[in-house]
Amino acid sequence: MAGFYQAYGLLTFFKLGLIYLIFNYHKLEESASELVTQISTSSLVTSDQLLYFRAFCLVSNLYVDLIPTFFDKVGHTITAFQIDTQPRTVRMKGGIRFCTFTLWSWLIQGIYFACAIATQLGYITNLYFLEAIVIMFELATSVAILVTVVVTFVLIPGAAKGDVKNMVGLFRFQVLLTHNANVVFMITELVLNNIKFKFSHFPYAGLFGITYIAFSWILAQKIGVFFYNFLNYNFPKVLMAYTGLLFALSVFFTIAFGISHYVDPTHNPWTIPFIVIGVISICKVRMPVKPKKE
């Protein structure tokens, strides 16, 4: 249990620090009408085109979230990790799919797109609700980048060293979609809309990460496994892993902050190719090794 108490202490330290920052620095800086304008308009496309794009993303989100949950009765298997860090095969089907960090990222993304559409249609005008939509956008963007980076540079290389079935599973169409389309949607949304990231919202990204870690602890007590070994409090380098996760979220929030404030495709269209190259560089759609036939 020593690992658990160390991990708990570290996360408590981070959580209290982030809550302190929120209470001391998060202020409502715009009026409701200003936030509606930021959410509902684009400098690159018309409002109708922005609405159609968001509707497409929302429908895609429902396809990723709901159709496999209710209609895929077989699912697919992955290697999860028991509390003692030993691997164990788990079948992903039904509601258990929503316990992964990837599906959390899609859920918050879907809620954002639904709320953004409602705002464009004039159904949301409350200042606090609008501020929450902006925060959801910031979280969805930062988390989408994190998911794709972790899958491409951590999970896929790890699977390549182990069971071939795990590698093949990561390159099923549905799985590829969940690990790559999310970042494509959110970076496109970041470029299109007029929302400016607020650095006072920075702590929310860390709190989102801490919330998922706490959820993974509770889930492990219920089903006996962690979906990500580096979130297991018995993982040998758990303190480094947690710090790295929260640091990565902070970095990706900062990158998105920079894009929203300093990248202006309207006046500097040459910035678009660099964003496209950046997104392509973190996506992985081809298997790095050819699996051996069993």
What is the mean predicted confidence (pLDDT) over 20-49?
A: 94
Higher pLDDT, 268 or 194: 194
Q: Please tell me the distance from the alpha carbon of residue 206 to that of residue 65, in angstroms, as a whole number.
A: 24
The predicted structure's pLDDT at residue 294: 46
Q: Please tell me the distance from the alpha carbon of residue 291 to that of residue 14, in angstroms, as a whole number.
A: 41
What is the mean predicted confidence (pLDDT) over 247-258?
A: 94
Cβ-contact 93, 74 below 8 angstroms: yes
Task: Pick the closest to residue 35 from 188, 201, 194, 200 (CA basis).
Answer: 194
Which secondary structure element, helix H or strand E, spans residue 92, and what is its range? strand 87-92
Handedness of CA 233, 212, 282, 293 (dihedral sign): positive
- Strand pairing partners for 88? 80
Rounded to a whole number of angstroms, the distance between the first and last alpha carbons of the chain is 40
Handedness of CA 37, 42, 47, 50 (dihedral sign): negative
What is the mean predicted confidence (pLDDT) over 226-254?
A: 93
Quick check: 220 pLDDT over 90? yes
Lowest mean pLDDT, pick from 22-31, 137-146, 209-218, 282-291: 282-291
Share of the chain above pLDDT 70, in %: 94
Mean pLDDT over the full length of the chain = 89
The number of residues making up the chain comes to: 294
Quick check: 14 pLDDT over 90? yes
Which secondary structure element, helix H or strand E, spans residue 56, and what is its range? helix 47-65
What's the whole-model pTM score? 0.91
The predicted structure's pLDDT at residue 268: 81
pLDDT digits over 89-132, tens only?
A: 888 888 888 899 999 999 999 999 999 999 999 999 999 999 99
Buried b (16+ CB within 10 A) or exposed e, 223-250: eebbbbbbbbbbbeebbebbeebbebbb
What is the mean predicted confidence (pLDDT) over 57-61?
A: 93
H runs (alpha helix) in 79-100:
none
What is the mean predicted confidence (pLDDT) over 206-231?
A: 94
Strand residue runs (E) in 208-260? 225-226
DSSP 44: S
Quick check: 165 pLDDT over 80? no
Q: How confident is the model at residue 53 (pLDDT cuts 50, 70, 90)?
A: very high
Share of the chain above pLDDT 90, in %: 66
The predicted structure's pLDDT at residue 169: 67
Q: How confident is the model at residue 162 (pLDDT cuts 50, 70, 90)?
A: low
Task: Supply 286's token pair.
Answer: 């081809």
pLDDT digits over 167-214, tens only?
A: 676 777 777 888 899 999 999 999 999 999 999 999 999 999 999 999
The predicted structure's pLDDT at residue 269: 83
